[in-house]
Amino acid sequence: MIAQALPSSVVIREVGPREGFQIIPKVFETRQKLSLIEALVDAGLAEIEVAAFVRPDKVPSMADAEAVVAGLQPRPGVSFSALYLNVKGFQRCEATGVLSNKAWLYTSPSETFLRSNSNTSIDESLASVPLWCDEFHRAGKGVHGLMISTAFGCGFEGAVRAEAVVNLVERYLAALSGLGESLAEICLADTVGVAHPNSVRACVQLLRPLGIPLSLHLHNTWGLGVTNVYAGLCEGVSIFETSIGGLGGCPFTPGASGNVATEDVAYLCHALGVSTSLDLDKLCCAAELAESIVGGPLASGVYKAWRHSGKKVW
């Protein structure tokens, strides 16, 4: 009866151990992070972003990135990655020898956001593509993906039109093409959580003719995270970046919702008959562990309901 052909299965990429701790003004123990990563692996997550290689003075909660990576237990079929934003960070990732990091380029359609977040402009970020490609090649990698922050809107410039994102992608593709490179994935990140189903669908529809797999990194700021995942599924998107328990906001600041929760997305997918590699009960156990680590209540709908219903999933 349902008109949309939803994907038969999706990949859920966990970013909680990185994005979940990054914003919290508190330093967690490396062993706590490792125990959470273990629980996530047990729950079936096969792609986990475990840390960010960024400046320790700017993000103290990520100062132990090397230690976290050193403590990882290799598991068949599970790939661990880390975030980097500049060449030094990429080199630190590579130096670990453990991470299966793909080569990502980072940009945004918002000049103001780029300036504020990375002290660069769109033109400058495009001009850096050859340097990045050289760096990737030195590590034996071709370009994998383009991560587009604030793809649907930002606090500085308001709503972003889908046409602006397409234009940005086309400029990157032109720059890459001259270097014999292409894109195997475009990740649309709703960095500040202002996407809605129409903006998600419009952007996916406009990008689809490029034939490049699209992924969505959604936040739950205004409560639309799961709804936007559903909009993405309706448009055939089959890769989602999520965070266990909805980590990614600050649990000490009421109302600061984080990423869309891994268990909420898994629950939605399973209800819709879209398969994931995930065990929902174990995800809720991992969310419980995350909650005990951060020490504040997590906002995920499924986790809350699971607790309330005697730790049973409907």
Residue with smaller CB distance to its own copies, 231 or 286: 231
Work out which of 205, 275, 292, 295 binds its own copies, going by CB under 8 A: 205
Please state at what angle helix 225-234 crosses helix 262-271, rounded to 10 degrees: 40
Adjacent-strand bridge partners of 265: none
Does position 9 bind its own copies by CB under 8 A? no
C-alpha distances (whole Å) from 83 to each of 52, 130, 132, 182, 254 are 4, 20, 15, 21, 27
Could you give the CA distance from residue 108 to residue 114 in angstroms, rounded to a whole number? 6
Q: Which is nearer to its own copies, 107 or 257 (CB)?
A: 257
Residues 75-114 as x/- pattern, contact with its own copies by CB under 8 A: ----------------------------------------
Do 216 and 230 contact (CB within 8 A), yes or no? no
User: Considering only 128-136, 180-188, 225-233, 282-290, which stretch makes contact with its own copies by CB under 8 A?
Assistant: 225-233
Query: Which residue in 227, 238, 243, 262 binds its own copies (CB under 8 A)?
Result: 227
Residue 164 is a binding residue for its own copies (CB under 8 A)? no
Residue closer to its own copies (CB basis): 94 or 264: 264
Residues 124-163 close enough to bind its own copies by CB under 8 A: 162
Instruction: Please report which helix (H) or strand (E) contains residue 161, including its range.
Output: none
3-state secondary structure 96-137: HCCCCCCEEEEECCCHHHHHHHHCCCHHHHHHCHHHHHHHHH
Instruction: Select the span of 30-38, 71-79, 180-188, 193-201 touching its own copies (CB under 8 A).
Output: 193-201
Distance CA 210, CA 239 (A): 17
201 touches its own copies by CB under 8 A = yes
Q: Please tell me whether residue 187 binds its own copies under the rule CB under 8 A.
A: no
* Phi-psi map region of 44: left, alpha, beta (phi>0 left; psi -120 to 50 alpha): left
- Name which of 142 and 301 has its Cβ closer to its own copies: 301
Closer Cβ to its own copies, 151 or 194, answer by number = 194
Among 206, 213, 277, 279, the residue binding its own copies under the rule CB under 8 A is: 206
Buried/exposed code over 238-265 (b: 16+ C-beta within 10 A; e: otherwise) = bbbbbbbbbbbbbbeeeeebbbbbbbbb
Name the residues annotated as catalytic: 250
What DSSP designation does 34 have? H
Number of chain positions touching its own copies (CB under 8 A): 48
Q: Which residues bind its own copies (CB under 8 A)?
A: 1-3, 162, 193-194, 196-199, 201-202, 205-206, 220-224, 226-227, 230-231, 234, 253-257, 261, 264, 267-268, 271-273, 297, 299-302, 304-309, 314
